[in-house]
Amino acid sequence: QSALTQPPSASGSPGQSVTISCTGTSSDVGGYNYVSWYQQHPGKAPKLMIYEVSKRPSGVPDRFSGSKSGNTASLTVSGLQAEDEADYYCSSYAGSNNNVFGTGTKVTVL
Amino acid sequence: QVQLQESGPGLVKPSQTLSLTCIVSGGSISSGSFYWSWIRQPAGKGLEWIGHVYTSGSTNYNASLKSRVTISVDTSKNQFSLKLSSVTAADTAVYYCARSYRGYCNSISCPGAFDIWGHGTMVTVSS
């Protein structure tokens, strides 16, 4: 399966919002509500931020939200803070018990 | 609180087999319904799902690596393992183990999100 497509970079000033897209196909993103998002700081393991398109794990700030329309999922970070600067990856169930990750987006807080 | 810790050689010679183990602590690997995955990340690049073993022992692998990958579970040691054969420099990466819960995709059992990750271990393929 091919990697999901994300923009290489996104940026915003503190307090602003940034939205990251994750585009797949009807065989992955569009076919299932099992899209998740991960935050990764340099040298660290990824951290789950959103699961099943729009659900937040306990402890994740409500500034992070997820949505999906057709074959494209999105992660929005509202009220950007310095600590939100990181790489973000989406992931989706891709059928037949397979998973696929996105290409990753580097978020910069200006 | 379940925690995962990868272990294994940091250097593997080309054409040999990469072997890693993920030790599960704070809970039993055989309790509940979970998928235990291996994921890798070459330096400066994105994440790649390698495959997983379900609590029952059944496995699924990334099609691009399927011919070289074996993932197994050892419930007596509360750990699961990765073997990747015939390695080349392209297999150099940080390798993570991770857990995902069992979800239901269109009424069929499927892996959910990766909710727990190990810290990762760097493996270099070089002679």
- pLDDT tens, position by position, B71-80: 999 999 999 9
Residue B114 and residue B101 in contact, taking contact as beta carbons nearer than 8 Å:
no
Residue A105 and residue A88 in contact, taking contact as beta carbons nearer than 8 Å:
yes
Sheet containing B79-84: which strands, arranged edge to edge? B3-7, B18-25, B79-84, B69-74
pLDDT digits (tens, 9 = 90+) for A63-92: 999 999 999 999 999 999 999 999 999 999
The pair of structure tokens assigned to B1 is 């609180």
Identity of the residue in A3, A51, A96 whose CB atom sits nearest the CB atom of B113? A51
Identity of the residue in B46, B111, B120 whose CB atom sits nearest the CB atom of A89? B46
Q: Say what the pLDDT of residue B32 is.
A: 79
Identity of the residue in B37, B46, B96 whose CB atom sits nearest the CB atom of A45? B96
Q: Say what the pLDDT of residue B31 is.
A: 83
**Cα A77 from chain centroid (whole Å):** 10
CA distance B42 to chain A (A): 12
Question: What is the rounded distance in angstroms from the CA atom of residue A3 to the CA atom of residue A105?
Answer: 13
Owner of token pair 């991770």: B98
Element (H, E) at A27: none
Residue A70 and residue A35 in contact, taking contact as beta carbons nearer than 8 Å:
no
pLDDT digits (tens, 9 = 90+) for A5-58: 999 999 999 999 999 999 999 999 999 999 999 999 999 999 999 999 999 999
Report CA dihedral (B11, A88, A26, A99) to the nearest 10 degrees: 30
Question: What is the rounded distance in angstroms from the CA atom of residue B23 to the CA atom of residue B47?
Answer: 21
Residue contact A34–B113, C-beta within 8 A: yes
Residue B6 and residue B21 in contact, taking contact as beta carbons nearer than 8 Å:
yes
Residues 6+ apart with CB under 8 A from A46: A38, A39, A40, A89, B47, B96, B114, B117
Question: What is the rounded distance in angstroms from the CA atom of residue B56 to the CA atom of residue B33?
Answer: 8
Size of interface A-B (CB pairs under 8 A): 75
Q: Say what the pLDDT of residue B108 is.
A: 85
Asked whether residue B56 carries a pLDDT value surpassing 90, the answer given is: no
Q: Which residues of A touch B52 (CB under 8 A)?
A: 97, 99
Residue contact A97–B106, C-beta within 8 A: no
Degrees, nearest 5: CA angle B41-B42-B48: 40
**Who wins on pLDDT, B23 or B106?**
B23
Identity of the residue in A45, A51, A101 whose CB atom sits nearest the CB atom of B112? A51
Q: Say what the pLDDT of residue B18 is.
A: 98
pLDDT digits (tens, 9 = 90+) for A91-101: 999 998 899 99
CA distance A96 to chain B (A): 8
Question: What is the rounded distance in angstroms from the CA atom of residue A51 to the CA atom of residue A53?
Answer: 5
What DSSP state is assigned to residue A83? G
**Residue B53 — pLDDT band, cuts 50, 70, 90?**
very high
